[in-house]
Structure 1
Amino acid sequence: MNTLRRWVLYLIVVEAIVLAAAVTGGVIGLTQLGQARLRVVDQIDPELIEQRELETSLLDQETGLRGFLLTGRVDFLTPYQEGRAQQEQSVADMRRLGAVDGTRAGDDLAVVLEKTAEWHSTAERMVGAPNDQTLVETGKVQFDEVRSALETQRNNLTAERESNRETLQRSAILLPIVFIVIVALLVILFVLLVLGFHRRVARPVFALASEIRSATDDIFHAIPPGDGPQELKELAKDVEALRQRLAAETEELQRSNSDLEQFAYVASHDLQEPLRKVTSFCQLIQRRYQGQLDERGEQYIEFAVDGATRMQVLINDLLAFSRVGRRTGEFTDVDMGSVVRTAVGNLDAADVDIAVSELPTVHGEESLLTTMMQNLIGNAIKFRGQEPLRIEIDATREGTEWVFAVSDNGIGIEPDYADRIFVIFQRLHSRAAYPGTGIGLAMARKIVEYHGGRIWLDTSATNGRTTFRFTLPVREKKP
C-alpha cells in the first residue's frame, strides 16, 4: 500500500544506508591514513636511522681493525671495540622497533648479524696473528658479505618506507574523494527526495487544495479521489464526504430561504391587506361615531387603531430585517461621509448638534449602510436627555479595519445590557416612554456583520457618553 508512512520509512532506510556507507568509507580512510603514518613515522624511519647507526658501527670496527693490522698499534683497536658496543645498542633498538623474527626487517637483521658474527670470528683471529695474509683475505671477503647484507637490509627498509609513503599518499587522496562522494551522494539523495516528495506528496496536496478551493467557491463541485499517498486519498474522501454533507445542508438551507421568502411575500401582501382594512374601518368608526360613544368605547377604538398601526409597523420592520443579507443591491465604493449626511437628512435632527469627522470610503451596499447609520443616529435622538443633544461620529484605521464610533450625551445604557440591546425586539424601556419596535440595533448589527464587521457598545467610556463602535474592512485598492 502506497502510504506516506511507508515513504517516510523508505526515506529513513535510504538515508541510514547512505550515512552508514559514508561513515564506513571515512573510517576506513582514516584508519589507513593513521596506520600508514604510524608505520612510517614511528617504525620505518627510526629503523632506517638505527640501520645507518648499525652500518656506521660496523664500518668503524672494520676501519679500526685495518689500522691495527697496518700499524700493529693496539690503540687503533679502540674504534673496533666502541663499534661493537654501538652495534649492540643499534641491534637492541631495531628489535624494539619491530625487527623481530618472522618479519622482513627481523630476517634481514638476522642475516646481517650472521655475517657479522662470521667476520667477528675471523677478526678475533687476525688480532692474534696480524701478519697472516690468509686471515686478512678471508676477513675482507666476509666483510664484503656484511656490506652486502647491510645494503640488502637498507634497500628493503627503504622500499618498505616508500611503499608505506605511497599508502599514506593514497589514503590522503582517498579522504577528499570519500568526502566528495559523500557530498555527491547526499546531494543526489536530496534531489531525489525533493523530486519524489514533489511527485508523490506535494503535487497531490496542491491538486487536492485546488479541488477544495473549487468546492469552496461551488459547494456542488465534487472532489475527485486523487492520487498520492493513501493518507491523502483518505483525506480526499473525508473532505468529499464533508462537501456532500454541506451540499445537502445548503440545499436544505436554500429550501428554507425559499420558504422565508415566501413568508416575506405573505407578510408584505396577504397580511398587510387585512391589517390595512382593520385599521381603516377602526378609523372610520372612530370618526363617524366620535362623540356618540362614551369614554370607554372611544378608548377601546383607540386601542384597536393603535394596535393595528403598531402591528403594521412591526411587520414592515420584520420584513426589512429579513431582507438584510439577501444581496438586494451590488457592493460598490461608498463614501461614509455621504452616508451620514443622507441618514441625518432622513431624521428629524434640526435641533441636534452632530459633529462628523472625516470618514473613509468603504466597499458595501449603500442603502444598507445608510439604514444602519440612520438607526444608530435615530437611537441617540430617541434616547436624548435633558441637556442639548450632541452626537459625535468619527473613524480610525486599525490594521485592515476601519473602526467607527457614534457617541452621544443621552440617557446612557447600563453595561449589563451591552449584549441584550442587540437582540431583536429587546427593549429596556416601556413603549409608552419611548416608541419603537426594538429592532433598530438588531438591524444595525445584522447589516454590519453582513459587511464583514463587528458592532458593540463601548462600556469602557468614562466621560458619561454612550458610544457605539463598529468595524468595516478597509477597501482593497484596485490594481
Structure 2
Amino acid sequence: MRAPRIGLRARIGIAILSTIALLLIVVVGGGVRLVQTQRQQTYVIDDFYAALRSSQAYFINMLDTETAVRGYELTREESALDPMRKAGTPESANLVQVVQASVPQETQLIAKARDMDLLGRRWYYGWAVPTVATIRAGGTLSDGRIDEGKAQFDEFRVAYEDYITVARSQRAVANDQLRALTNKLFFAVLAEVLIAAIAAFMLWRLLRRWVNKPMAELAGEVRTVSGGAFEHAVTTTGPPEFVALGQDVERMRKLLVEQIAQVEAAGVEIREAHARLEQQAEDLQRSNRDLEQFAYVASHDLQEPLRKVASFCQLLQRRYADQLDERADQYIHFAVDGAKRMQQLINDLLDFSRVGRQAAEMSTVSMEECLAQALGHLESAVEASGAEVTSDPLPEVRGERGLLVQLLQNLIGNAIKFRSEDAPRVHIGVRQTGARWEFTCSDNGIGIDPAYSERVFMIFQRLHPKDEYTGTGIGLALCKRIVEYHGGRIWIVDDHEEGLGGTTIRWTIPAAAETPVRAPVDFSTARGAAPSGATRSVAG
C-alpha cells in the first residue's frame, strides 16, 4: 500500500484545528449572550434594588420625622424628636443622585424621584422644621396649620406611591428582557453542546480510521512475537508514522533475539549468585545466633567472678574490720565498688544489645500504665529525693510494654539523679502530631549544655565524673535505641523556657489506631492520691 502524502500528525492537526475553530466561534457567540444576560441580570437585581431601597429608606425617614413632630407637638419633650434627628435631612438621602447612578436610562423613574424629593423637601422645610421651632418657642399650632402639614405629607406619600408604581413597572419590563436573554442563552448553549458532540463524533471517526486500525494491526504483530514466535517478521501498513514504528519494532525484535541468548547465559550466573547469597544469609544468621549465645554466656561468666570478688572483699571487711587499718578498708571499698560497677555495666550492655534483637510482638500499650510501673521501680529514689512527678493524661501507643517502661524509668531516673539544689520536679507532657504522639520529659535539674545535646545519646558518654554522679553512660543511649526501635526519634530541646528550667527531652512514638487520650490513672495505691484535672502528680 502506497504511503499517504499527508502524515498522521498533519491530519490530526488539521482535524483538531478545524474543530477548535468551530468551537471557538460557537463559544464566542455563547459568551456574548452570557455577558448580555449577566448585565441584564445585574440591572434587574442590583440596580433596580438600589433604586427601590433608597426610595423606601427616604420614605421611612420622612415618616419617622412626621411621627416625631406629631409626638413633640403632643408631649413638648425634646426626646420625642430623636427619630427626626436619626432620620436626618432630605439632602442626606441623596435620592435623586442614587436613582440616576443606579438606573440612568430610566428617565421616567428619575423624574418621579425628583418630584418625590421636591415634595419631601417642601414638607420638611416648609412645615416640619418651622413647626418644631414654633413649639420649642412655646407657641401652639392652629388647626389650619396642622391640616396644611397633613395635606403636604399626603402629597409626598402619593408621589412615593407613584414612584414605586413606575419602578415596579419598569423593573417588570427589564425582567421580561432578562427572561428573553436567558432563553436565547439556553438555546445557544444547547447549540454549542450539539455542535461539540457532532465535532467530537467526527474527530473520533477520523482517529479510528487513522490511528485505531493501524495500531490494531501493529499490536497483532507484536502479540505474535511476544507469544513466542520470535522468528516472525513484523510488517505494518498505514500512515508513515506507523510504518516507521513497525520498522523500529522489527529492529527491536532482531535485537531481542540476539539478547535472549545472552540473558539465558546470564541467568545461569544469576542462579549461582543467588545460591551464594542464600548461603551467606544462612551463615550470617548462624553468626548472629552464635553472637547472642556468646553475649549471654560471657555476661554470666563475667559476673560470676565479679560477685565472688565483691563477696569475699565484703567478708574480709566484716571479719578483719578491727585488724585492718583505714587504708585497707578504703582499698576493700574500692574493690567492692568497682565490682558492682562492672556488674552494672555488663547488665546495661546486655540490655542495650537486646533491644531490637529479641523483639516481642508489638501491641497497643497504655503509657499511663507504663508510667505507673516505672514510678514503682523508682519508688525509693522518688521518696529519698522528695521528687514530684507530674504528667498530662497519657495516650495508648503501638509498641513493646517492657521497653517503654524502661524508657520512662531511665528518663525520670536521670531527672532525679542530675538534680539541682531544689527538690526534683519532673513533668511528662504529650501532644499529637499527625499519626504520632510527641512526648516530653522536663525537669528542673542542672540541665545539659546545648553543645553536648547529641553526645549524651552516644554509648559510654558521660558529662560528669563517676564519683560525682553514678552510672555507666548507657542510659540515654538505651533510650535512643528504644525510641528508634519503635520508629520514632529522640532529641534534647534547646529552649529551656518550654520546660521547667532544667532539661527537656522530647521523643515521638507512633499512635495506636483509633485510641484517644485516656483519663488520668489514679496512683493513690502507689504514692498518694493523684489530683483530678488535666494532670496528675506523684510526690515523694
Residues 1:308 and 2:295 are matched in the alignment: no
* CA pair 230-475 structure 1, distance change in 2 beyond 3 A: farther
2: distance between equivalents of 1:362 and 1:392?
19
Q: How does 1:341-380 map to 2 (within 5 A)?
A: 341-347=372-378, 348-350=381-383, 351-380=386-415
Q: CA deviation at 1:245?
A: 7.9
Matching residue within 403, 417, 424 for 1:382: 417
2: distance between equivalents of 1:197 and 1:416?
66
Matching residue within 321, 325, 340 for 2:352: 321
Name the SS for the 2:497 alignment partner. coil
Q: How does 1:66-215 map to 2 (within 5 A)?
A: 180-187=205-212
2: distance between equivalents of 1:366 and 1:199?
60
Residues 1:271 and 2:306 are matched in the alignment: no
Residue 326 of structure 1 aligns to which amino acid in structure 2? R
Q: How does 1:417-456 map to 2 (within 5 A)?
A: 417-456=452-491
Residue 403 of structure 2 aligns to which amino acid in structure 1? L
* CA pair 432-197 structure 1, distance change in 2 beyond 3 A: farther
Q: CA deviation at 1:268?
A: 3.2
Q: CA deviation at 1:435?
A: 0.6
Residue 504 of structure 2 aligns to which amino acid in structure 1? T
1: distance between equivalents of 2:485 and 2:496?
27
Residues 1:400 and 2:435 are matched in the alignment: yes
TM-score (norm 1): 0.52
1: distance between equivalents of 2:371 and 2:400?
14
- For 2:512, the equivalent position in structure 1 comes to 475
2: distance between equivalents of 1:199 and 1:413?
73
Residue by residue over 1:202-245, the C-alpha shift from the partner in whole angstroms, topping out at 9 and shown as x without a partner, is: xxxxxxxxxxxxxxxxxxxxxxxxx99979x89x9799899778
Task: State the identity %.
Answer: 49
**Greater Cα offset, 239-248 or 321-330:** 239-248
* CA pair 281-400 structure 1, distance change in 2 beyond 3 A: same
2: distance between equivalents of 1:331 and 1:297?
52
Residue by residue over 1:322-376, the C-alpha shift from the partner in whole angstroms, topping out at 9 and shown as x without a partner, is: 1111235322110011111111111022322212111111111101110011001
Q: How does 1:273-292 map to 2 (within 5 A)?
A: 273-292=304-323
1: distance between equivalents of 2:221 and 2:309?
78
2: distance between equivalents of 1:399 and 1:229?
54
* CA pair 343-177 structure 1, distance change in 2 beyond 3 A: closer
* CA pair 471-310 structure 1, distance change in 2 beyond 3 A: same
Do 2:8 and 2:210's aligned partners in 1 also have CA atoms closer than 8 Å? no
2: distance between equivalents of 1:474 and 1:195?
53
2: distance between equivalents of 1:462 and 1:193?
72
Residue 421 of structure 1 aligns to which amino acid in structure 2? V
* CA pair 187-285 structure 1, distance change in 2 beyond 3 A: same
Structure 2's unaligned 5+ residue stretches are 16-200, 227-255, 516-540
Query: Rg: which structure is higher?
Result: 1
2: distance between equivalents of 1:331 and 1:389?
33
Do 2:435 and 2:511's aligned partners in 1 also have CA atoms closer than 8 Å? yes
Do 1:200 and 1:229's aligned partners in 2 also have CA atoms closer than 8 Å? no
Q: CA deviation at 1:17?
A: 8.5
1: distance between equivalents of 2:221 and 2:495?
58
Q: CA RMSD in A?
A: 4.1
2: distance between equivalents of 1:23 and 1:340?
75
How many corresponding residue pairs?
A: 290
Matching residue within 305, 323, 330 for 2:361: 330
2: distance between equivalents of 1:402 and 1:289?
58
Q: CA deviation at 1:393?
A: 0.9
Residue 377 of structure 1 aligns to which amino acid in structure 2? I
Residue 360 of structure 1 aligns to which amino acid in structure 2? P
Residue by residue over 1:282-321, the C-alpha shift from the partner in whole angstroms, topping out at 9 and shown as x without a partner, is: 1111111112012222221111111111111111111111
Name the SS for the 1:397 alignment partner. strand
* CA pair 422-188 structure 1, distance change in 2 beyond 3 A: farther
Name the SS for the 1:476 alignment partner. coil
2: distance between equivalents of 1:199 and 1:473?
52
2: distance between equivalents of 1:369 and 1:471?
12
Structure 1's unaligned 5+ residue stretches are 1-15, 29-175, 202-226
* CA pair 181-367 structure 1, distance change in 2 beyond 3 A: same
Name the SS for the 1:370 alignment partner. helix
